[in-house]
Amino acid sequence: MSTRAQRARRIRSAQKQLHDIEEARLADLKRELSELETAKRDLISALNDDTALHGLFIDTMARRLRSLSEQAEIVGRRKDAQALKLLEQAALAKRAERLSSKLNQKERSESERALLQEILDRLSSPPP
């Protein structure tokens, strides 16, 4: 195996690992956003309840709801940016995959050509 093909294989492997890391980061951001949305829904549900002590905590609950909304907005933007980063990484991984494939095909072709040349040389040489 040629050095160039080995290098391309290592690059392909590294790009795949980077792609997996970016996917994991995006999944974490989606999970975090989901948790924030669940917390907001729970808080809104609590605000809608008619409990005896409801009025005592309404300001605190409203501040918490505002804070959760701000956090959700920030995480949403980070998730969108991460999705773009993941697409870029996927393109790089695909490019590395194609390069590695082309080099492997070229190497296989050269090997077959050398083998064919050896067979032709043996057939064309006089028997001993």
pLDDT digits (tens, 9 = 90+) for 56-106: 778 888 899 999 999 999 999 999 999 999 999 999 999 999 998 998 899
Q: Given phi > 0 = left and psi -120 to 50 = alpha, else beta, which region is 71?
A: alpha
Residue pair 93/16 in contact (Cβ under 8 Å)? The answer is yes
With a cut of 80, say whether residue 54 has pLDDT above it.
no
Q: Global pTM?
A: 0.73
Residue 98 is predicted with a pLDDT of: 92
DSSP three-state, residue 120: helix
Q: How many Å apart are CA 92 and CA 81, to the nearest integer?
A: 17
Q: How many Å apart are CA 94 and CA 58, to the nearest integer?
A: 53
In which band, very low, low, confident or very high, does the pLDDT at 2 lie, cut at 50, 70 and 90? confident
Alpha helices in the chain (DSSP H): 3-48, 58-124
Residue carrying the six token digits 């494939």: 101
Q: At what angle do helices 3-48 and 58-124 cross, to 10 degrees?
A: 160
Residue pair 45/91 in contact (Cβ under 8 Å)? The answer is no
The conformation of residue 52, written as its DSSP 8-state character, comes to: T
